[in-house]
Amino acid sequence: MIRTVFVPDNENVVFSVPKEYVGKRIEVTILPADDILVDYITPEKKKISFTSVSLDTRGWKFDREEANAR
């Protein structure tokens, strides 16, 4: 993977690809670097809700033999 950040001096940009990329499909994405940090990398904060289940385990003892028998 090659990642390069540069400031073009005109509308035409020419670049070279490594020999191992010749004949393969490649993807070129052009985005303003300022937009990358804000819009593409920073995920939106979402509220996460965890619900719980209440169990009364008083007086309960784990029986390994019973668990392995199933």
State pLDDT tens for residues 6-63.
888 999 988 888 999 999 999 988 888 776 555 455 566 667 777 777 888 888 888 8
Domain assignment present for residue 37? The answer is: yes
Q: Which residues make Cβ contacts (< 8 Å) with residue 55, sequence separation at least 6?
A: none
Structural domain contains residue 70: no
- By C-alpha distance, which of 34, 33, 28 is closest to 15? 28
Full domain range(s) for residue 7: 1-44
Q: What pLDDT, on the 0 to 100 scale, is given for residue 22?
A: 94
Q: How many distinct structural domains can be found in the chain?
A: 1
**More confident call, 46 vs 66:** 66
Whole-number Å distance between alpha carbons of 22 and 9: 27
Q: Is 68 inside a domain boundary?
A: no
